[in-house]
Structure 1
Amino acid sequence: MTFVKPEDWVPQGVAELEDRAWEALRETERSVSVTAGAGAGKTEFLAQKASYLLQTALCPAPKRILAISFKRDAAETLAKRVKIRCPEDQSRRFVSMTFDAFTKGLVDQFRLGIPQPFRPPADYEISFPTAQIVRDFLERGEFSEINNATFEKMLSARRILDENQIVTARQREILDAYWQDQYYGGASPYLTFPMINRLAEYLLRTNARIRRALRITFPVIFLDEFQDVTGPQFELVTTAFDPATAVLTAVGDDKQRILGWAGALPNAFSVFKQFYNARPISLLLNWRSHADLVAIQHVIASRIDPDVEPAQARAEREVDGAVSAIWQFENRDTEIATLALWVKAQVDAGTAQPHDIAILVRNLANAAEDEMCDAFREQGLLLRNLARNVGEISIQDLLSENLTEILMPFLRLGAEKKNPKAWSEAQETLRRLRAPLEDDEIALQLIADDAADIAKALRDHLAQHPAETGSAQASVDLLIDLIDEKSIRQSTPSYIRDADFVRVKEGFVELLDEALSDAARWSKALDAFEGLDQVPLMTVHKSKGMEFHTMIFFGLDSQSWWSLTPNRAEELNSFFVAFTRAKQRAFFTSCSERGGQIVWLRQLLGDAVPSVDGSTLA
Structure 2
Amino acid sequence: MNITLDDLNENQRQAVEWKDGRLLVLAGPGSGKTAVLTLRIARLVKNSPDDSFRILGLTFTVKAAKEMQVRIDGLLEEKTRRVKLCTFHSFCTDLLRQHGSHLGLHPDFSVITDDKDRASILKELDDNGEIDIDNPEDALKKIDVMFTHGIDADELPNYFESEQCVVLQSIFKGYLNKLTESNQLDFGSMLYFSRKLLETMPRISRQVKTVYRYICVDEFQDTNLAQYRLLKLIAEQESANLFVVADDDQVIFQWNGADPKRLDELKSDYHPIIIQLPENFRCPQAVVEIANKLIAHNSDRDISKVAGVAHSQTQGIVSLDVYDSFDAEIQGVVEKINPIPKNQRETCLIIARSNKLLSQVKVAFDGQGINAEIVSKHQDFSCPLVQTIYYCLKLANSPDSRSALNKLCSAVTQIN
- Give the TM-score, by structure 2 length: 0.76
- Is 1:95–2:87 an aligned residue pair? no
**Which residue of the partner structure matches residue 232 of structure 1?**
226
Tell me if the contact between 1:66 and 1:218 (Cα under 8 Å) persists in the aligned partners.
yes
Q: Structure 1 residues 85, 113: CA separation in 2 closer, same or farther (over 3 Å shift)? A: same
Structure 1 residues 132 and 113 mapped into 2: Cα distance closer, same or farther (>3 Å)?
closer
Maintained 8 Å contact 1:336/1:372 = yes
Aligned 1:27-38 pairs, distance under 5 A: 27-38=18-29
Please give the secondary structure, in 1, of the residue aligned with 2:39.
helix
1:17 aligns with 2:8: yes
State the 1:287 CA deviation.
0.9
Q: Closer, same or farther in 2 for the Cα pair 1:392/1:249, shift >3 Å? A: farther
Q: Give, in whole Å, the separation in 2 of the partners of 1:256 and 1:27.
A: 24
Deviations along 1:255-274, whole A, 9 cap, x unmatched? 11122232224422222223
Question: Is residue 55 of structure 2 the alignment partner of residue 65 of structure 1?
Answer: yes
What is the aligned counterpart of 2:42 among 42, 51, 73? Answer: 51
Q: Are 1:127 and 1:190, in contact at CA under 8 Å, matched by a contact in 2?
A: no
Match of 2:393 in 1: none
**Which amino acid letter does the alignment assign opposite residue 83 of structure 1?**
D
- Are residue 286 (structure 1) and residue 280 (structure 2) matched? yes
Amino acid at match of 1:277: H
Q: Partner residue of 2:407?
A: none
Q: For residue 80 of structure 1, what is the amino acid of its counterpart?
A: V
Residue pair 2:153, 2:172 contacting (<8 A) in 1 also: no
* Corresponding residue of 2:214: 220
The Cα shift of 1:249 comes to 0.8
Q: Are the counterparts in 1 of residues 23 and 243 from structure 2 also a CA contact under 8 Å?
A: yes
Aligned to 1:195: 189
TM-aligned CA deviation for residue 14 of structure 1: 7.2
SS at match of 1:264: coil
Q: How does 1:225-374 map to 2 (within 5 A)?
A: 225-305=219-299, 307=303, 308-318=305-315, 323-348=317-342, 353-362=344-353, 364-365=354-355, 367-374=356-363
- Confirm or deny: 8 A CA contact 1:201 1:239 kept in the other structure: yes
Of residues 164, 177, 185, the one that matches 1:180 is 177
The residue number in structure 2 matching 1:107 is 96
Matched residue, 1:603: none
Tell me which amino acid in the other structure corresponds to 2:174.
A
Task: For 1:45, give the aligned amino acid.
Answer: V
In the alignment, is the contact (CA less than 8 A) between 1:134 and 1:148 conserved in 2? no
How far, CA to CA, are the matches of 1:108 and 1:231 in structure 2?
A: 23
Task: Provide the C-alpha distance between the structure 2 equivalents of 1:64 and 1:381, rounded to a whole number of angstroms.
Answer: 50
How far off its partner does 1:250 sit?
Answer: 1.0
SS in 2 for 1:67: strand
Q: 1:152 aligns with which of 141, 144, 161?
A: 144
Q: Once the 2 structures are TM-superposed, how far is the Cα of residue 225 of structure 1 from its aligned partner?
A: 0.9
Cα deviations by residue, 1:137-195 (Å, 9 ceiling, x for unpaired): 59943366996654433455345899xx99988254332222234456xxx65422111
Query: Partners in 2 of 1:134 and 1:297 — Cα distance?
Result: 44
Contact preservation (8 Å) 2:251, 2:259: no
Cα distance in structure 2, aligned partners of 1:311 and 1:134: 48
Amino acid at match of 2:312: A
CA distance 1:112–1:88, change in 2 (3 Å): same
Pair 1:287–1:218, CA change in 2 (3 A): same
Matching residue within 130, 133, 144 for 2:119: 133
* C-alpha distance after superposition, 1:434-476 (max 9, x if no partner): xxxxxxxxxxxxxxxxxxxxxxxxxxxxxxxxxxxx9xx9xxx
CA contact (8 A) 1:369 1:383 kept: no
SS in structure 2 of the partner of residue 387 of structure 1: coil
SS in 2 for 1:227: helix
Alignment of 1:448-467 (within 5 A): none
Task: Give the C-alpha shift of residue 354 in structure 1.
Answer: 2.6
Whole-Å separation in 1 of the counterparts to 2:172 and 2:286: 52
Give the 3-state SS of the residue equivalent to 2:207 in structure 1. Answer: helix
Q: Is the 8 A contact 1:273 1:280 kept in 2?
A: no
Of 376, 380, 385 in structure 2, the residue corresponding to residue 387 of structure 1 is 376
Structure 2 residue identity aligned to 1:356? T
Distance 1:142 1:286 in 2: 55
- State how far apart, in whole Å, the 2-side matches of 1:198 and 1:51 are: 32
Paired residue type of 1:79:
Q
Task: Report the CA distance between 1:289 and its aligned residue.
Answer: 0.9
1:39 to 21, 24, 30: 30
Instruction: Please list the CA deviations of residues 573-609 of structure 1 after superposition, one character each: whole Å capped at 9, or x if unmatched.
Output: xxxxxxxxxxxxxxxxxxxxxxxxxxxxxxxxxxxxx
Paired residues, number: 369
SS in 1 for 2:53: coil
Work out whether residues 131 and 148 of structure 1, in 8 Å CA contact, stay in contact via their aligned partners in 2.
no
Gaps of 5+ in 1: 1-10, 394-469, 474-496, 499-618
1:433-444 maps to which residues of 2 (within 5 A)?
A: none
Which AA in structure 1 matches 2:228?
Answer: F
- How has the CA–CA distance of structure 1 residues 391 and 155 changed in structure 2, closer, same or farther, with 3 Å as cutoff? closer
Question: Closer, same or farther in 2 for the Cα pair 1:130/1:60, shift >3 Å?
Answer: farther
The 1-side partners of 2:42 and 2:107 are apart by 40
For the residues of structure 2 that align with 1:201 and 1:299, how far apart are their CA atoms? 40
User: Quick one: distance in 2 between partners of 1:17 and 1:296?
Assistant: 26
Given that residues 50 and 82 in structure 1 are in contact (C-alpha distance below 8 angstroms), is that contact kept between their aligned partners in structure 2? Answer: yes
Aligned counterpart for 1:86 among listed residues 58, 67, 76: 76
Percent of aligned pairs with the same amino acid: 21
The amino acid of 1:125's aligned partner reads V
Distance 1:26 1:182 in 2: 45
- C-alpha separation between the residues in 2 aligned to 1:314 and 1:214? 41
- Give 1:456's aligned residue: none
- Superposed CA RMSD in Å reads 3.7
* Amino acid corresponding to residue 67 of structure 1 in structure 2: G
1:132/1:50 CA distance change after superposition, 3 Å? closer
SS at match of 2:275: strand
Alpha-carbon distance in 2 for matches of 1:325, 1:173: 53
